[in-house]
Amino acid sequence: MNYPFWDVPHIGSGWVIGLIAIFHVMISHFAVGGGLYLPLTEHKALREGRKDWLEILRKHAKFFLVLTGVFGAVSGVGIWFAIGLTHPEGTSALIHNFVFGWAMEWVFFMLELTTAAVYYYTWGRIPNQLHLKIGYFYAFTSFFTLFIINGILTFMLFPGKPWLEVAGTGQEASRFWQAFFNPTFWPSLGLRCMACVSLAGVWALLSCSRINGDDQPQLKTSMVRWSAKWLLPSFLTLPLFFGWYLWEVPESQRALLQLGISTISSGVFSQLTRASFIVMSSSIVVVAVVYLFAWRSPRDLAIPHAIGVLFLALCATGSTEYAREMLRKPYVIGGYMYSNGVRKTAVAKNNENGYLATTPWIAKTTPELENMARGEAMFRGQCMSCHTRDSYRSMTRLLAGRNRETIGNLLKILHEYALESPYRKFMPPLVGTPAEIDSLADYLTVISQAPEPEAKPKLAAAPKEAKPN
């Protein structure tokens, strides 16, 4: 069934998911990495008798609890509202295929929230060893929330051949574990774990930058350098995990990345290419700045320096998530469901019976208005998952200057979806009957036409004054 589309002005509904999800990832990855940083740093402080470390760490734990427990939890729930409204077909597929996985994730999530609060509020009130065990238990639960979510997210890129063989037959549950441990699961998990560890160090540097280096030089030096070391594992292993990840990515998705890279010489940067360059450049700058300002001159690390490092690290994290989403094109679930919610197996059926056959809310009035209503319904259902009418990826701008025949030819290319078509790499096929596609062409022609300028009224000439004789 074609659901009514959630039309968000200017940015489109897809970016509502994107903004909430990127914000959530920035915090949730800190929740995992920071959850390991806290007990390990506490363990080190207790072993070395560094009571001054414990006081700084306690303040960091409070900040950690508020940021992850409030903003992380709220944005996580916000993702569910956004995807349910924006992509009901994709959300339904994920729920039906991963009910058991989502249930496990919510159990670990509730344990994670509870343990984080217990860890902070029992600070100094229970024996140190018991407090450490609570901290390590939190790290365990937060890691498994990442573990489960990683399986579902990587499934969306490439479910794997065993699951695709039974997709749509009602037997998908029999391939649950093959879908969960899909080909990109392990390299993606490695990438995310290293990102979590790095963010733990970056956020800790923000807390350490508040220490007065003149009054407590030894404390600030030791804590800043300890926190800076948390970026070293990522610097050494991320290239390896990234190479492994690309090796496992389906050939069609690698072609999408290569398309963006191959067009750089001609001055064309695809969005995937831009995101990839932001990830690489910001990551390199983060490592350089941390080495120069945190490792070599820890006493001089100021709050603006730490904020700058944090900003760059969050840019790298957000761009990575954006690139991962773009890499899935033209699918929302690789090889199974296109980004506009059309299942790959339903293309032929929609072409024969009509895409709008299950769309009961089209206005039934005059033939002209009904034709435009059909065209708008086609546009909302098949185009607005990636485009808007007038703003982000605006169709009025992309089609400006094209006449009805040119737009019809473009739609014909998208409908035929030939193997040699360049659109196959990033756009789903256009489905529907010839009449529905004609209605879409009529609608796009109307909205892409520039409004004619209003004729300005001519001013009457001022009467000439009579000249004196």
Q: How confident is the model at residue 171 (pLDDT cuts 50, 70, 90)?
A: confident
Picking from 289, 308, 335, the residue at the C-terminal end of a domain is: 335
Q: How confident is the model at residue 365 (pLDDT cuts 50, 70, 90)?
A: low
Mean pLDDT (whole number) for 209-221: 92
Q: How confident is the model at residue 153 (pLDDT cuts 50, 70, 90)?
A: very high
180-217: burial string, b at 16+ Cβ within 10 Å, e else:
bebbbbbbbbbbbbbbbbbbbbbbbbbbbbebebeeee
Cα 80 to Cα 256: distance, rounded to the nearest angstrom: 28
Alpha carbon separation from 104 to 47, 161, 307 (Å, rounded): 35, 25, 35
Residue 459 lies in a domain: no
pLDDT digits (tens, 9 = 90+) for 117-142: 999 999 999 999 999 999 999 999 99
Cα 117 to Cα 189: distance, rounded to the nearest angstrom: 26
Quote the pLDDT of residue 258.
Answer: 66
DSSP 426-448: T-PPP-S-HHHHHHHHHHHHHHH
Cα 137 to Cα 131: distance, rounded to the nearest angstrom: 10
Q: Other CB atoms closer than 10 Å to residue 308's CB: what's the count?
A: 15
User: In three state form, how does the secondary structure of 55-84 look?
Assistant: HHHHHHHHHHHHHHHHHHHHHHHHHHHHHH
Q: How confident is the model at residue 460 (pLDDT cuts 50, 70, 90)?
A: very low
- The amino acid present at 296, given as its one-letter code, is R
**Could you tell me which residue, 263 or 285, shows the higher pLDDT?**
285
Domain residues for the domain of 437 are 344-448
Mean pLDDT (whole number) for 188-215: 93
Mean pLDDT (whole number) for 417-444: 91
- Kindly state whether residues 82 and 210 are assigned to the same domain: yes
**Could you tell me which residue, 452 or 39, shows the higher pLDDT?**
39
Residue 394's SS3 state is: strand
Residue 101 lies in a domain: yes
Tokens 């065209």 — which residue? 375
Is the pLDDT score of 295 beyond 60? yes
Alpha carbon separation from 370 to 105, 123, 365, 449 (Å, rounded): 46, 67, 6, 20
Is the pLDDT score of 363 beyond 70? no
**Comparing 115-119, 190-194, 212-216, 366-370, which segment has the lowest mean pLDDT?**
366-370
Is the pLDDT score of 156 beyond 90? yes
Mean pLDDT (whole number) for 426-435: 92
Q: Other CB atoms closer than 10 Å to residue 307's CB: what's the count?
A: 13
pLDDT digits (tens, 9 = 90+) for 25-69: 999 999 999 999 999 999 999 999 999 999 999 999 999 999 999
- Dihedral (Cα; 354, 358, 363, 365), 10-degree rounding: 60
Four-residue CA torsion sign, 38, 40, 44, 47: positive
- Kindly state whether residues 329 and 354 are assigned to the same domain: no
- The amino acid present at 91, given as its one-letter code, is T
Which CATH number characterizes residue 383's domain? Answer: 1.10.760
- Kindly state whether residues 281 and 376 are assigned to the same domain: no
The stretches of 338-426 forming alpha helices (DSSP H) are 347-353, 367-382, 395-398, 404-416
> Count of domains in the chain?
2
- The amino acid present at 184, given as its one-letter code, is T
Quote the pLDDT of residue 468.
Answer: 46
Q: How confident is the model at residue 263 (pLDDT cuts 50, 70, 90)?
A: low
pLDDT digits (tens, 9 = 90+) for 112-123: 999 999 999 999
Quote the pLDDT of residue 469.
Answer: 44
Angle of helix 251-262 relative to helix 303-327, nearest 10 degrees, comes to: 120
Is the pLDDT score of 249 beyond 90? no
Residue 469 lies in a domain: no
Mean pLDDT (whole number) for 215-241: 91
- Kindly state whether residues 219 and 363 are assigned to the same domain: no
Quote the pLDDT of residue 282.
Answer: 86
Give me the chain's average pLDDT, please. Answer: 87
Picking from 314, 335, 356, the residue at the C-terminal end of a domain is: 335
- Tell me if 319 sits within 8 A of 349, measured CB to CB: no
**Comparing 194-203, 220-229, 422-431, which segment has the lowest mean pLDDT?**
422-431
Is the pLDDT score of 201 beyond 90? yes
- Kindly state whether residues 358 and 302 are assigned to the same domain: no
Picking from 285, 311, 335, the residue at the C-terminal end of a domain is: 335
Q: How confident is the model at residue 451 (pLDDT cuts 50, 70, 90)?
A: low
Token code pair at residue 293: 């300002």
DSSP 28-63: HHHHHHHHHHHHHHHHHHHHHT-HHHHHHHHHHHHH
Quote the pLDDT of residue 182.
Answer: 94
- Kindly state whether residues 285 and 351 are assigned to the same domain: no
- Kindly state whether residues 270 and 401 are assigned to the same domain: no
Cα 25 to Cα 106: distance, rounded to the nearest angstrom: 17
On the 0-12 / 13-18 / 19+ scale of CB atoms within 10 A, 447 is: middle
> Which helix (H) or strand (E) segment is 223 a member of?
helix 217-228
- Kindly state whether residues 351 and 415 are assigned to the same domain: yes
- Kindly state whether residues 326 and 362 are assigned to the same domain: no
Q: At CB < 8 A and 24+ separation, what contacts does 341-347 make?
A: 341/2, 341/87, 341/88, 341/89, 341/90, 341/381, 341/385, 342/382, 342/428, 342/429, 342/431, 343/89, 343/168, 345/167, 345/168, 346/431, 347/429, 347/431
- Kindly state whether residues 223 and 241 are assigned to the same domain: yes
Residue 30 lies in a domain: yes
> Which helix (H) or strand (E) segment is 108 a member of?
helix 99-121
Mean pLDDT (whole number) for 65-74: 92
Q: Which of 333, 340, 322, 329 is nearest to 96 (CA)?
A: 333
- Kindly state whether residues 45 and 125 are assigned to the same domain: yes
Quote the pLDDT of residue 367.
Answer: 73
Residue 6 lies in a domain: no
Quote the pLDDT of residue 364.
Answer: 67
Is the pLDDT score of 350 beyond 90? yes
Four-residue CA torsion sign, 212, 213, 219, 222: positive
Residue 202 exposure: Cα atoms within 13 Å on the Cβ side: 31
**Where on the phi/psi map is residue 8: left (φ > 0), alpha (ψ -120 to 50), or beta?**
beta
Q: How confident is the model at residue 262 (pLDDT cuts 50, 70, 90)?
A: low
